A and B are shown apart, each in its own frame.
Chain A
Amino acid sequence: LAKTTQPISMDSYEGQEVNITCSHNNIATNDYITWYQQFPSQGPRFIIQGYKTKVTNEVASLFIPADRKSSTLSLPRVSLSDTAVYYCLSREYGNKLVFGAGTILRVKS
């Protein structure tokens, strides 16, 4: 049974780099790893997605090791507005999706 595990919470200060790691022990061979961000009273929104090595966009970077059993979301120089819950997502089988329980990121000034 696929299980997606991530830390419950993290604290950071403005301007720091934040790394959130997720483990996905049974990810499908052809599956991507996807991360979402959620603010209060809103649905999650897509941040970044990758298959292996490193992916970077205007918001974040995603690092995926060769065995693909984990991934690390990296947020450079966080600001107060990055305070949110971050979810990683993998696929169990077929099209059944398994989210991690979410990491609450608190950014302080």
Chain B
Amino acid sequence: EAQVTQNPRYLITVTGKKLTVTCSQNMNHEYMSWYRQDPGLGLRQIYYSMNVEVTDKGDVPEGYKVSRKEKRNFPLILESPSPNQTSLYFCASSFGTGNSPLHFGNGTRLTVT
């Protein structure tokens, strides 16, 4: 089954403790991206990647890192999480770029205390 898989689904952590949220897709998509979803603000893009070893900042990249060492994986790294990063995070992928429909994972709910 074609899908985007994020792990974990839920994560509670403390301020400053480094964490990684994994994202993997099995559709051989070139484009992958991360979003955070907050009430009243919709989906905001954090980082995106056009292909392996190519990453770019989205609208809200501060406090996050990403890497794209393999085509299928695009982990989101929070080196020193803070409470304002408490949010619902989504990973998405698509063929090519821009106009190709995005396929989303089921989300990771992160709470930073």
Q: Is the CB of A95 within 8 A of B50?
A: yes
A contact residues around B59 at 8 Å (CB):
96, 98
Q: Is the CB of A97 within 8 A of B45?
A: yes
Bin the interface of chain A by size: 20 to 34
**Closest-CB distance, B77 to chain A (whole angstroms):** 20
Question: What secondary structure prevails in chain B residues at the interface with A?
Answer: strand
Q: How far is the CA of A97 from the CA of B100 in the complex (A)?
A: 12
Stretch at the interface among A13-21, A44-52, A67-75, A76-84: A44-52
Number of residues on chain B facing chain A (CB within 8 A): 27
If A41-B106, A43-B106, A97-B33 touch, does A31 touch B43 (CB 8 Å cutoff)?
A: no
Q: Is the CB of A43 within 8 A of B90?
A: yes
- Which of B35-49 touch A at CB < 8 Å? 35, 40-45, 48
The yes or no answer to B81 lying at the interface (CB within 8 A) is no
Q: How far is the CA of A102 from the CA of B42 in the complex (A)?
A: 6
Chain B 8-51, CB-CB to A under 8 Å as 1, else 0, gives: 00000000000000000000000101010000111111001010
Q: Is the CB of A101 within 8 A of B42?
A: yes
- Which of B68-99 touch A at CB < 8 Å? 90, 92, 97-99
If A43-B106, A87-B43 touch, does A95 touch B101 (CB 8 Å cutoff)?
A: no
Q: How far is the CA of A102 from the CA of B37 in the complex (A)?
A: 10
Q: How far is the CA of A91 from the CA of B98 in the complex (A)?
A: 7
**Number of residue pairs across A and B with beta carbons under 8 Å?**
65
The yes or no answer to B102 lying at the interface (CB within 8 A) is yes
Name the one of A46, A49, A96 contacting B56, with C-beta atoms under 8 angstroms.
A96
Q: 8 other contacts beyond A99-B35, A100-B42, with CB at 8 A cut-off?
A: A44-B90, A46-B103, A49-B99, A49-B101, A87-B42, A95-B31, A99-B44, A102-B43
B: residues with CB less than 8 A from A are 4, 31, 33, 35, 40-45, 48, 50, 56, 58-59, 90, 92, 97-99, 101-107
A: residues with CB less than 8 A from B are 8, 31-32, 34, 36, 41-46, 49, 87, 89, 91, 94-102
3 cross-chain pairs, A with B, having the tightest CB-CB distances, nearest first: A43-B104, A101-B42, A46-B101
